[in-house]
Amino acid sequence: MTDIDVAVVGGGIGGLANALALASSGHRVRVLERASAFAEVGAGLQLAPNATRILREWGLLDEVIEHGVRPGRLVFKDALDGVELTSLELGESFERRYGAPYVVIHRSDLLSIMFRACERAGVELLADHKVDDVTVTEHEAVVLANGEKHRAAIALAADGLWSPLRARVSDDSPVCSGYVAYRGALPVSEVTDVDADALTDVVVHFGPGCHLVQYPLRQGEMLNTVAVFASPAYARGEEEWGGPDELDAAFDGTCPAVRRGLTWLWRDRRWPMFDRLPIGNWVNGRLALTGDAAHPMLQYLAQGACQALEDAHCLAAEAGKRTGDWAGALDAYQRTRTARTARVQSSARVWGEIWHCDGLTRTLRNALLTDRRLDDYQYVDWLYQS
């Protein structure tokens, strides 16, 4: 006899999303988080309509909007000369087309909202629980954490990019892109001479081997900045790479607005950018991967959290169709999700190449973007529509 229906390994956004979706459907759920508290490291994240539709269904969208910002546009500029190339209006017509808004929010705010929702739904939330092993049988998954056994009908590995449990379904490893990110989120009162659109829109400056993203957070009280660049030291095979000196050098030829943005970054921490190749199997018996453990992706489509929410929504729906048939639910979940997330992973890599091109390719990219009609949604319909 199992203690619970679902044991979730990992208490990040993906883990809590699965816990909330399944508990709201009447399942007994326990989340095991290795850290001493449920917390997110980082700054802002973007929630496209494919995510905010789900948050609305879960009754969380109003609170997310209250703590976040609904940007007016998604703006693309050339980082070298600062010229605006194209934009995507995110207002009323956008929301009518996709049935939900585009929202930007601080990671910690989203996690807190989801944590409270999990508490209300009756999820058992256990911090400081390091999972040492998961044993899978035909009828259950036994999760060993802190010397205690947690017997569940299924276990979900929501333990991120470096998931040890992914080895149960694949022998692959994370792939380093050679790019590194620096982030910063500061009160608007502490930044000066910032372009006005960075306080209302999501603004992307892309340049040769680098890009800078800026957008407001917390109802416009904070400015989120992310700088990403290719590390020459990594390309040379050096052990130490991606330091602040390389950050400054990568953006040396960019326009003044971009260089000013570098002053608002935290320089004591960097985030090397990894993903993995798509795989077609996420399930081993009663154990399944979810979120970044299943499909880690580069950030160029801003879909990491969005796809994790889609995973959770899908699994809860499939479980709801098959009362007690967890094997069938996991199989349907895998068949539904692997092709879509593989496309997002692969497309993110391609967009990174487009963002960071130089020379004649940059000239062609800029010309194509400049010629784009502002009401042309062909490149995002597949991503944002239900």
Task: Write down the catalytic residue from 102, 215, 234, 333.
Answer: 215
When the pLDDT of each residue in the chain is averaged and rounded to a whole number, the result is 97
State the average pLDDT over residues 18-26: 98
Q: Tens digits of per-residue pLDDT, 111-159?
A: 999 999 999 999 999 999 999 999 999 899 999 999 999 999 999 999 9
Angle of CA points 42, 78, 219, to nearest 5°: 40
CATH code of domain 175-275+356-384: 3.30.9.30
| DSSP 8-class letter at 196 | G
Q: Tens digits of per-residue pLDDT, 297-331?
A: 999 999 999 999 999 999 999 999 999 999 999 99
Instruction: Give the residues across from 226 on adjacent strands.
Output: 183, 213
Rounded to the nearest 5 percent, the helix, strand and coil shares of the chain are 40, 25, 35
* Whether residue 42 has pLDDT greater than 80: no
Contact indicator for 383, 351 with CB cutoff of 8 Å: no
What are the extents of the domains in the chain? 4-38+127-173+277-351, 175-275+356-384
**CB burial string 250-263: b at 16+ within 10 A, e below:** bbeebbebbebbbe
- Can you list the alpha helix ranges (DSSP code H) found in 244-325? 244-250, 256-262, 304-321
Split at pLDDT 50, 70, 90, the class of 104 is: very high
Residue of 173, 157, 154, 169 whose CA lies nearest to 293: 157
The reported pTM is 0.97
Q: Write the CB contacts of 142 (distance below 8 Å, at least 6 apart in sequence).
A: 134, 135, 136, 149, 150, 151, 152
Given this structure, which CATH class describes domain 4-38+127-173+277-351? alpha beta
234 is catalytic: no
Q: Tens digits of per-residue pLDDT, 228-270?
A: 999 999 999 999 999 999 999 999 999 999 999 999 999 999 9
